[in-house]
Amino acid sequence: MRFWKHLLLLWVGFLAACSSPGTLDVRPYHIREVSLRGDGEPLIDAEEKRRMYGAVGVREQEQRLGIYYAVLWEDDALGEPVRVVFEYQQASTASKVLKKVQDFNADTRKGKAEFQVIGDDYLKGGRVLAWKCTLLRGDREVASRHSYLWE
């Protein structure tokens, strides 16, 4: 029994040593139509219902169309404020890079930032073609993720 405990502790230590100091996970979710699918995928149905909750009229529901990005981040360093920067390009804006930013307190080690390209921004600007998300602690870049088409 003791052998397994030591092996487990060794394994946990190995995983901790291999992990990066800052992690960043970007999870996109796209709503293309006003009508809720209800196609039998419970997680997808629940997410659509959550995003459409409170939108009564067709115009309100149309304003919820677009793409939602949930950014989960973690950084154990403390002392400086955290900034999550989301840059993206849309179909009708060509090479113009648009930016959204969320700031967090210096004593925050992990969090969730939500970025949305919905409503008129989505309906007039078109779909998001490429994106890049960067986690900054002060002026230092901690982690970065980008889509396949980002240059």
Supply the CATH number for residue 60's domain: 2.60.40
At residue 39, what is the residue type? D
Which ranges constitute the DSSP H helices of 19-96? Answer: 42-52, 58-62
Confirm whether 9 is domain-assigned.
Answer: no
| Whole-number pLDDT of residue 72 | 96
Nearest to 34 by CA among 46, 22, 52, 50: 52
Cα(112)–Cα(151) distance, integer angstroms = 25
**Which pTM does this prediction carry?**
0.78
Distance CA 129, CA 59 (A): 25
Each residue of 26-85: pLDDT tens digit?
999 888 777 655 666 787 778 878 887 888 888 888 888 899 999 999 998 888 999 999
d(Cα 65, Cα 144) in Å, to the nearest integer? 27
Does the residue 13 lie in any domain? no
CA dihedral 61, 67, 68, 73 (to 10 degrees): 180
Please give the helix or strand (H or E) that residue 2 lies within, else none.
helix 2-18
Q: Which range marks the domain in which residue 132 is found?
A: 22-146
75 within domain boundaries: yes
Domain assignment present for 17? no
Q: What is the pLDDT of residue 30?
A: 87
Give, as one character, the DSSP assignment of residue 40. S
Above 50 in pLDDT, residue 13? no
Q: In angstroms, rounded to a whole number, what is the distance separating the alpha carbons of residues 83 and 75?
A: 11
- Whether residue 88 is contained in a domain is answered as yes
pLDDT in tens, 88-120: 999 998 789 999 999 999 888 999 999 999 988
**Which of 21-30, 78-87, 138-147 shows the lowest mean pLDDT across its residues?**
21-30
In a domain, 5, yes or no: no
- If one counts the domains in the chain, the total is 1
pLDDT at position 35? 64
Are 125 and 67 within 8 A, CB to CB?
A: no
- Res 36: pLDDT: 59
* Of 31 and 14, the one with more pLDDT: 31
Per-residue tokens: 85: 């920067």
149 or 22: which carries more pLDDT confidence? Answer: 149
